[in-house]
Amino acid sequence: MKRPNSVRTQFLSAHDVAEIVAKMGLAQVLRGMADYIEADFLRWSDFDKCARVASHSAGGVIELMPISDAKTYAFKYVNGHPKNTLLGLPTVMAFGVLADVDTGVPHLLSELTLTTALRTAAMSAVAARALARAASRCMALIGNGAQSEFQALAFHHLLGIEELRLFDTDRSATAKLVRNLRHTPLRLIVCQSVAHAVRGSDIVTTVTADKTHATILTPGLIQPGMHINGVGGDCPGKTELHADVLRGASVFVEYEPQTRIEGDLQQMPGDFPVTELWQVLAGRAPGRIAPSQVTLFDSVGFALEDYSALRYMDDAARELGVGRPLSLIPELTQPKDLFSLVRPAFKDLSLAA
């Protein structure tokens, strides 16, 4: 068997990912990542899939998200701790790996905190392109925290959203978003309530962080033709939508077994009808079938999206010469002689004894 030339692992830090975004432009990164996600969803059956493995605590959750095809294995480690901001820490922190299936060699280790925000926004846009009305130009953005700017810009660049109606119970979060986006062409309207923000919006994106059964959107707020992008309900015990909002909509999900446990769908009986988004993208199931139809993407984040995001960042980093190699795996003259790495120290200790 031919021995690989190197087992060096390419490493991308958060600064490396930020450099990729700076060199390529945020709009191009969002478009590219959305294209990679859609391409991978179109080969859905190629992947060995499972729901993520979660370890819950009173303060949050830590999760592992694995997936693989015949060539590449990927996983993401990610947490969700809503009170982390009180400690000066991000609510969500993550890293991920791409590895070769044939050898098990990890060829990429990358941050996924910044990349997750990019891929979540790109995924939202992929779903909305398939489900929202084509003429949508106004979006309500409920929850203006760490991921909100990415959602706003993805919908602006990929769907043509022109007006954002903003609401967050934390007014400083909304002020932060306005500062960050004030130089963009987006019209930013700060609203005093969820109802005020939703009124007249073509698309409603909810991206809140509290781990609680919330009802941010209620049936009385929903208007015919709306597309709802529910991003924040992403673990057991955490919801954003009143159950009747789901009952009044056509509901689409990423991976049904996971969404029934983690999404707003957790409120519904096991036979409540949903459609996996890949079927719509592949033309196997209808998406929006009428202008007055209410569509809902119950997004919880799925490992395939992280696979796509890692693959995109790996390609972009190699093209731009970003990142650096790590000696994560021992390089051995004799693969069976792992002890050779410590033999010199062992000899020194033997002499000292």
Decide if 220 is inside a domain.
yes
Instruction: State the residue range of the domain holding 39.
Output: 9-114+305-348
Residues 315 and 285 in one domain: no
Decide if 68 is inside a domain.
yes
The region of weakest confidence among 194-203, 282-291, 323-332 is 323-332
Residues 48 and 152 in one domain: no
Residues 156 and 295 in one domain: yes
| Active-site residue list | 234
Q: Write the pLDDT tens digit of every residue in 287-335.
A: 999 999 999 999 999 999 999 999 999 999 999 999 999 999 998 889 9
Residues 215 and 293 in one domain: yes
Indicate the number of domains in the chain.
2
Residues 138 and 283 in one domain: yes
Residues 101 and 245 in one domain: no
pTM metric for this prediction:
0.93
Residues 158 and 57 in one domain: no
pLDDT band at 3 (very low <50, low <70, confident <90, very high): very low
CATH of the domain at 265: 3.40.50.720
Q: Write the pLDDT tens digit of every residue in 82-123.
A: 899 899 998 889 999 999 999 999 999 999 999 999 999 999
Burial call 318-345: b when 16+ CB within 10 Å, e when fewer: eeeebbeeeeeeeeeeeeeeeeeeeeee
Residues 225 and 333 in one domain: no
